[in-house]
Amino acid sequence: MPRTPHYGFAGKRVIVTGAASGIGHRTTELLLEAGAHVVALDRNPVDLKVAQFIRIDMTNPGTISGAARQIDGDIDVLLNIAGVPGTADPEVTMRVNVLGLRMLTELLVGRMRSGGAVTNVASIAGAQWQAHLDEIQRLLATPDYETGVAWVKDHPMDGKRAYDFSKECVVVLTKQHGRFLREHGVRVNSVSPGPVRTPILKDFRESIGAVLDLVTRETGRDATVDDIARVLLFVSDPVLQWLNATDVQVDGGFMSGLVGGWVKLGS
């Protein structure tokens, strides 16, 4: 496909978690093409010429706070892309997908320039957040990482439910942060992909293969990392100053098809 430059990121300092592979890697590539100064955060080395690479383990709050201290300069955009699938240990899923994301965001917000943006990767697996809002709010009411972990330990769930719940939490956290970050002049939104052709897609098929097969059949294909990365940059673009606290579903229309009647569950 033709490469469309994302001019709004030229000279911007952008933090990308999960930059070593999948959606995070492609997003980093596009940002570098656009002239951004990218700080890449991941457990694994990043094979791109970023301005700064910092190792981070989202299951370990000490490395999160350490990574935040190592980031040079002010920040224009934070892209919270790192995540694990439902085949991971449920506590690990909640640490990485929710608690680590929240902690890093709250550590960095004071260093973000007015007019900046935070974009979180959720999932259409989190689309049922309204049905579980009370439980989500109880977890998000925990004041810090460790009390969040304690809440998770007190509310055991299997791997699939932990993944779905983690992404429901990301959608709701985004909405909660809408006012908190706005007070700093920063927008926050989430992007919810359907199935994406990444190295961990096989893990998703292992845990929820029948659901993914339905989405793929109804939409005609799985998303590419480019499909999702370009939406992440669009949502995070500095020109979109009035898009805030919103979840953007990027699934080829599948979830809308359920409402519109052209997707039939069990068909």
Q: What is the pLDDT of residues 191-204, one digit of tens each?
A: 999 888 776 566 66
**Predicted pLDDT at 162:** 97
**Predicted pLDDT at 134:** 99
Reported residue count of the chain is 267
**Predicted pLDDT at 4:** 55
d(CA 150, CA 145): 9
Q: What is the pLDDT of residues 94-139, one digit of tens each?
A: 999 999 999 999 999 999 999 999 999 999 999 999 999 999 999 9
Percent of the chain, pLDDT > 70?
92
* More confidently predicted of 200 and 36: 36
User: What superfamily in CATH does domain 8-200+222-253 come from?
Assistant: NAD(P)-binding Rossmann-like Domain (3.40.50.720)
Q: Which two tokens stand for residue 1?
A: 């496909």
The residues annotated as belonging to the active site are: 163
- Average pLDDT, integer, range 41-62: 98
- CA distance to 15, 34, 78, 131, 183, per residue, from 74 (Å): 10, 19, 11, 38, 17
Is the predicted pLDDT of residue 256 greater than 90, yes or no? no
d(CA 120, CA 246): 10
Name the residue ranges covered by the structural domains of the chain.
8-200+222-253
- Average pLDDT, integer, range 208-231: 82
Q: Which two tokens stand for residue 152?
A: 């998770």
**Predicted pLDDT at 193:** 95
Q: What is the pLDDT of residues 140-187, one digit of tens each?
A: 999 999 999 999 999 999 999 999 999 999 999 999 999 999 999 999
C-alpha neighbours within 13 Å on the C-beta side of residue 75: 31
Contact call for residues 119 and 188 (beta carbons, < 8 A)? yes
Lowest-confidence pick of 7-16, 26-35, 43-52, 203-212: 203-212
